[in-house]
Each structure stands twice: as structure tokens, then as C-alpha cells.
Amino acid sequence: MTTTTTGTRARRWLSSASVLLGGLMLAACASTPAATRTASSTPATIPTPNQPDPHATAVPDPSAWPDQDTLYAQASAQLQQAWAAYGVTIIPSLHVFAGMPAVPTVLNKTNGVLTQAQAQQIGLAFYRAEALWGWAAAHDQMKLQLYLGNQGFLNTAAGTAESKGQPVQDPPCELYPTKLAVVPVEASITSFLQHLGYAVSSQYALVESYKTPCNQTALTGAGAQTVIAQWAFGLNLQIETGSWHDDPLLGLVYVGEAARDCPESGYPTAPPGVTFPPGALGPSPGSADGGPLACGVIGS
């Protein structure tokens, strides 16, 4: 069975009824008992990101990363100490960044408040976080994901799958936008996201354009790869608030706060037999709610 999530990208955090829909539909598709969840086997207090730094440039410290992905229980005492607070059961190697594509030239719409170099650093931070996110999803490391984004992720189709021990495959088209813009957070962004139930405190937002079609899949307990979300329409724009940090372990990363598809992206027809709850797709194109002005900064 294929589950289609429309109207918002499912990789991170959602709000209201739309997130519950994805989880309920995935649960209905399950044909075998779920595997034991691994991400919670190591109790941990997830660290709090440090303060946003417009000059953040740090790279990961090689001494804190193994040569290859290593079970936490089999890692050296030094590595265990470095990674303990992140709650991982597997410690990634620096190869996690090997498949990360080059960051596109970031459109800087901050009216000179940030330099182009700083805007580009934000793009790099976002791409690094996405590389870590994709690895964590594929290895069922939810606590690392919860460090990089808020807990609304737990209610997405991907979060539901991972909570059942079903690794999620996020392809590059789902992780890495082909176009990026940095914009100041202003009233239209704040009101749009608050309308959808988010609290917004970030100073800057990213506008992201993703390539479609694109599918997100999960590996079920029976060993079958099942599509849990798909984006099959043309222009797919998302607006996301967050901040970039010099993390003492991960290096330069973007920590997300809230994200939602722009209404201007347009929404496909719901799959046969599926009725989306009121408000699940957020404000409709052309409605009084409209969308953030920033959604128009990236063209097709």
C-alpha cells in the first residue's frame, strides 16, 4: 500500500490533523508486527543547541568520529563520551557527509544584513543537517533527529515508521533543495506559521525549492520497501524557520524550528478513498490567509 502525504514535506515537523493522518494511514498498512524500536534504547538528555552565530564555520572534529559507523556499545570510551548526550545507538562516521551535493548559490534577501558568505554558510549548515538527518532516518536514530528539528516530527509518517523500528529512506530529492533563499522573518511568515500552530522565534527563514517527483520510503518488518510519502507535482516550495550553530560535535548545522509548504506550491488531488481533515493542508492558494511574501522569492 502506498501512502501519499500532500501539502507539506514530511521529513521534519508538522502540525494539527495532517500529521496524525500520515501516522494512521501508515499503521493501517502494516501487515507484520513492527520491529523493536532502537532509538530509545539509550536514555539521554538531548543537548540544547548553542546560540545562533552568524559567523559559524566549524567543521566536525575528526577525533570524535569513528572510521566507520560503529555500534555505541562497541565504541571506545572516548567516542561514547563524545556521543552520549545525543542518544545514538550507532555512531556515524564522517562518511555521512560524503554523498552531500554541492550547496547551490544561496539567494540572499536580507538587504545586506547578512553578507553573501554568511548566507552561503546558512545553506551549508542546512545541507549538513540534512545529511545527518538522512543518515539518522535510515539507521533509526530518532534522538539525533530530535536534536536537529522539533518533536512534531514524531507525528509524521516517517516518525511513525521509525518509532516501529522501520528505517526510512530519504532520497536526495527529499533532503536537498535545488534552490535556497535566506529571508528575514517578518509578519507574513510569523502569521502563516502561527496559524498552523507553530511558535516562531527565529530571526531568519529559509525558502527551499525541491525537485519532484520524489518518494520517501520505509522498510517494513517484512522487509518490504513501502512508499510512505510522495511529492508528484511541479514547483515544491517550503518555508522553514530555524538557526545555524557551531555544534561542538557536529560542526556547522542548521537546527530547524518550523516548516511548511508554501500555498503557492499547489496541492495535488488526495489519493482515492482519502479525505483530508479541515485545515490539514494549511491555507489554500488565493485564500484570505494567503502565504508568506517570501514564498515568491524563488521562481520556477
Tens of pLDDT along the chain (300 residues)? 333 333 344 444 443 333 333 333 333 333 322 222 233 333 345 556 666 666 667 788 888 999 999 999 999 999 999 999 899 999 999 999 998 999 999 999 999 999 999 999 999 999 999 999 999 999 999 999 988 987 777 777 888 888 888 899 999 999 999 999 999 999 999 988 888 788 899 999 999 999 888 888 888 877 788 888 877 766 688 899 999 988 989 999 999 998 888 875 544 444 445 454 444 444 444 344 457 888 888 865
Classify residue 11: in a domain, yes or no: no
Classify residue 9: in a domain, yes or no: no
Classify residue 7: in a domain, yes or no: no
Cα–Cα distance for residue pair 222/261, rounded to 1 Å: 33
> What 3-state DSSP class applies to 214?
strand
Q: What is the pLDDT of residue 126?
A: 96
Which residues are registered as beta bridge partners of 241?
Answer: 205, 258
Classify residue 237: in a domain, yes or no: yes
- The total number of structural domains in the chain stands at 1
Classify residue 133: in a domain, yes or no: yes
Cα–Cα distance for residue pair 22/157, rounded to 1 Å: 5
Classify residue 5: in a domain, yes or no: no
Amino acid at the residue 52: P
How many other CB atoms sit within 10 Å of the CB of residue 33?
A: 10
* Terminal Cα distance for the chain, rounded: 32
- Alpha-carbon distances of 87 from 132, 247, 258, rounded to whole Å: 14, 16, 23
Query: What totals of helices (H) and strands (E) does the chain contain, helices first?
Result: 7, 10
Which residues form the domain of 233? 16-296
pTM: 0.79
Q: Of the candidates 52, 49, 180, which has an alpha carbon nearest to the alpha carbon of residue 104?
A: 180
Classify residue 157: in a domain, yes or no: yes
Classify residue 212: in a domain, yes or no: yes
